[in-house]
Structure 1
Amino acid sequence: MRLILFVLAAFLITFSSYAAAHRGPGDAKARPAEINRDAPPFRLTAQDGRRVALSDFRGNIVLLSFIYTTCIDLCPFVTADMMSVFRRDRKAGRRNLRLLFIATDPEVDKPRVLLSYAERYGADLSVSTFLTGTEAELRPVWGSYGVKVSKKARGLVEHTMVTVLIDSDGKIRRRYLGGRIELDQVLKDIAMVRAEA
């Protein structure tokens, strides 16, 4: 009986620390915040090895988030949610939305790993880009977008959950903080940004 209780307690401690490991502040639903400032620039390495800059996407609306490929908590949901936003936007006849995903675990998330992750989610790589780099390259990018990242035991990565909507002029228009994005809200925000362009 003591062994069962010990195993159960160990599981609960592990699960609760894991569940908290890479959630940002707040609950599992992202809260939008309105912003209107230039998106911090960056140049990173894409899933196919190309060097890619944020400025390469000027003229398009960009939905940008931070993930790591071995995450089994919120990152898969955020990835799937962003793919859903793209599909719904494309179904409505829109053509200028781009998805960017920036790795928070550069030690693991090399370009080929990101390519495999993209394929697992059925990402259209003509409009979706998965980015990585060295930790020295990534840490300033994380910081400039308000993402805190720290590596924990057992391969876990604690990071702030942030998704950012960037308009075609390269300005941040919304930050969705704390978890999964609300698809309808994001689509409304994208429509608003388009209408103001």
Structure 2
Amino acid sequence: MKNKVTGLVLLLVLATVLSACGNVKFKADYSMEMQDFEHVNQRGEKVSLDSLKGKPWLGMYVFTNCTSICPPMSFNMTQVQEKLKDKGIEDYNIVAFSIDPEVDTPEVLADYLARYNVPDDSKWNLLTGYAQSYIEQYAQKSTKIWVKDDPNSDQVIHGSQFFLVDKDGVLVKMYNGYSEDEDVPIDTIAGDIETYIEENL
């Protein structure tokens, strides 16, 4: 009888462990193919959708003259990278599309990034070199995130989402990149990237 009880306990423990393992599997929430692009980053290098393939990347829309959500979004992204650094995760990139490309030259974008305590700026690609109308359409087609120039000011209205793109260029997750009402899910984002890399790279 004792052996049967011990066997039952071991079976339950094994089932619990297997169940826990199953819960950490990466699960995509979206499947949106990113439109092709080739732009220039803050280092003057060309970056394309094809050049980013092979690793997952986190994306966002920001601009350097932003007086509202861009600075906290950029800070939050550095916090995600800090978590990834702590985990020893290396196989990823961060892509920030400028939504004020006429102002945001590569030099201006480099100065903007330098304002933040970035754990590893080699992973960052702040992109520019296109028309305002282009990025508005690109954001809508690729990510369903709203970007619109404000004709009454020097500001651009835009969504605050972070989005995770897989190694094949498909948007698979979206996260809150800034909110006054709730915490940004920094641990969740880093955990998702870690799990994705473990399962797919």
Percent of aligned pairs with the same amino acid: 27
Shift of 1:95: 0.8
Greater percentage in strand: 1
What residue is the counterpart of 2:170 in the other structure?
171
Specify the SS of the correspondent of 2:30.
Answer: strand
**CA distance, structure 2, for counterparts of residue 98 and residue 59 of structure 1:** 10
**Mapped pair 1:53 → 2:56:** no
- What residue identity is the alignment partner of 1:191? E
- Please point out which of 55, 69, 72 is paired with 2:67: 72
Shift of 1:137: 4.1
Partners in 2 of 1:88 and 1:176 — Cα distance?
16
Q: 1:101 aligns with which of 84, 88, 96?
A: 96
Aligned residues: 165
2:60 and 2:162 map into 1 onto residues whose CA distance is: 4
Cross-structure match for 2:146:
148
2:131 matches 1:127: no
Q: Which amino acid aligns with 1:140?
A: Q
Q: Distance in 1 between matches of 2:77 and 2:154?
A: 24
| Shift of residue 111, structure 1, vs aligned partner | 1.2
Q: Deviations over 1:143-175 (max 9, x none)?
A: 222232222223121112221101223222102
Q: Distance in 1 between matches of 2:34 and 2:130?
A: 21
Q: Which TM-score applies when normalising by structure 1?
A: 0.75
Q: Distance in 2 between matches of 1:51 and 1:98?
A: 14
SS at match of 2:121: coil
Q: Provide, for residues 23-46 of structure 1, a one-character-per-residue CA deviation record: whole Å limited to 9, x for no partner.
A: xxxxxxxxxx81134332211121
Q: CA deviation at 1:116?
A: 0.4
Q: 2:192 maps to what in 1?
A: 189
8 Å contact from structure 2 (residues 136, 148) kept in 1: no
Q: Relative to 1, partners in 2 of residues 1:184 and 1:108: Cα closer, same or farther, differing over 3 Å?
A: same
d(CA) in 2 for partners of 1:177, 1:89: 18
Residue 20 of structure 2 corresponds to which residue in structure 1?
Answer: none
Q: Which runs of 5+ in 2 are unaligned?
A: 1-27
What secondary structure, in the 3-state scheme, does the structure 1 residue paired with 2:101 have? Answer: coil
Relative contact order, higher structure (CA 8 A, sep 6+)? 1
Counterpart CA distance in 1 for 2:72 and 2:92 is 19
Contact 1:165 1:174 in 2 (8 A): yes
1:110 is aligned to 2:105:
yes
